[in-house]
Amino acid sequence: MEKPFSKFAPFYDEFMLKLVNYDAWVEYLIDIWSFFNVKPKIILDLACGTGIPSIILLKKGYQVIGIDKSKEMLNIFKKKINNYPDLKKNLTIIESDITNFNLNIQVDAAVSFYDSINYLLNEDEIERCFSLIYKFLKEKGIFSFDMNTIFVLEKFWANNKFIRESENLKTIWENKFDKKLKISTLYLKCYLKNSNESFTEFHQERGYEYKTIVKILKKVGFKKIKIFQHLTFLPARRDSLRVMFVALK
Ligand SMILES: C[S@@+](CC[C@H](N)C(=O)[O-])C[C@H]1O[C@@H](n2cnc3c(N)ncnc32)[C@H](O)[C@@H]1O
């Protein structure tokens, strides 16, 4: 069994770009910044992975600091950014855990895309991550991140199997939901189409009550907090599939 985002890393973009409209998501993020009347220049992208959203932000003229603990995902990011020499000077990549990192500057905004915060499996990890974000945000800085809801992990992923295919892979996504811990465990089996090779990665995501996340954001110091249904400005509901948290310093 491989660790998450190791062997899958070279195939991540071909899968995600089919599943997720990152351009629309970044536009939504920019709308959120306007809604809260902030005009960030330096953005911290937590759990940046292969840098899909970071590169969109760089192309729009923002400075980006990307942090991720997966060397394999960051290697893909580094390879891609070499195709954009003029953007490279506005990017810093840090290989680190988002619960334990250091920056030598403060940023205007922190962002995190696509379930990354769900990968933190207990409240202590969430608190360590949020308190560092608070520390490295400038006064009036903004932190926006999405989360998968308990509803989606329990009712949709549940104990289901999904078969998905991309250009180079055939995959089976086998989920198991632990009702007590609210943790979804995923065995991601991948078969390479042009060889006999295969591998399985082990992933875990935890769903949190919204009030738990709000409690931790407030505990570390954030003042104003909103929770929207993803890609909208409507209030999050219990049965939302994905939600967007926004917290202001
Ligand atoms: C679903 S991917 C999202 C990547 C990127 N944000 C995107 O939207 O394409 C989740 C990422 O979270 C990273 N990750 C998970 N837990 C982490 C942690 N504790 N510290 C740093 N990175 C973490 C993984 O390595 C992976 O790159």
pLDDT number for residue 208: 98
Structure tokens at 26: 């970044």
Nearest CA to ligand 1 atom 13: 47
Mean pLDDT of 61-90: 97
pLDDT number for residue 211: 98
Q: Are strands 198-206 and 183-192 parallel, antiparallel or unpaired?
A: antiparallel
Give 118 Cα–ligand 1 centroid separation in angstroms.
9
pLDDT number for residue 65: 98
Residue 9 CA: nearest ligand 1 atom is 27
Distance in angstroms between the alpha carbons of the first and the last residue of the chain: 40
Give 47 Cα–ligand 1 centroid separation in angstroms.
4
Residue 45 CA: nearest ligand 1 atom is 6
pLDDT number for residue 66: 98
pLDDT number for residue 64: 98
Residue 22 CA: nearest ligand 1 atom is 8
CB 186 within 8 A of CB 203: yes
pLDDT number for residue 186: 97
Strand, helix or coil for residue 23 = helix
CB 146 within 8 A of CB 242: yes
How is the chain split among helix, strand and coil, in percent rounded to 5? 35, 35, 30
What CA–CA distance (Å, rounded) separates 191 from 166? 11
Mean pLDDT of 237-241: 96
pTM of the model: 0.97
Residue type, 114: Y
Give 75 Cα–ligand 1 centroid separation in angstroms.
13
Give 48 Cα–ligand 1 centroid separation in angstroms.
6
pLDDT number for residue 136: 98
Mean of pLDDT over the chain: 97
pLDDT number for residue 1: 82
Give 67 Cα–ligand 1 centroid separation in angstroms.
9
pLDDT number for residue 179: 97
Q: How many CA atoms lie within 13 A of 126 on its CB side?
A: 23
Residue 98 CA: nearest ligand 1 atom is 20
Residue type, 43: I
What CA–CA distance (Å, rounded) separates 146 from 231? 10
Domains of the chain: 9-148+209-248 (3.40.50.150), 152-205 (2.20.25.110)
Give 161 Cα–ligand 1 centroid separation in angstroms.
22
Predicted confidence (pLDDT) at residue 170 exceeds the cutoff of 90 = yes
Summarised one tens digit per residue, pLDDT across range 123-169 is 999 999 999 999 999 999 999 999 999 999 999 999 999 999 999 99
Pocket-testing residue among 5, 44, 101, 184, ligand 1, by greatest number of atoms within 8 A of Cβ: 5
Residues with CB under 6 A from ligand 1: 5, 16, 47-49, 52-53, 68-70, 73, 97-99, 113-116, 119
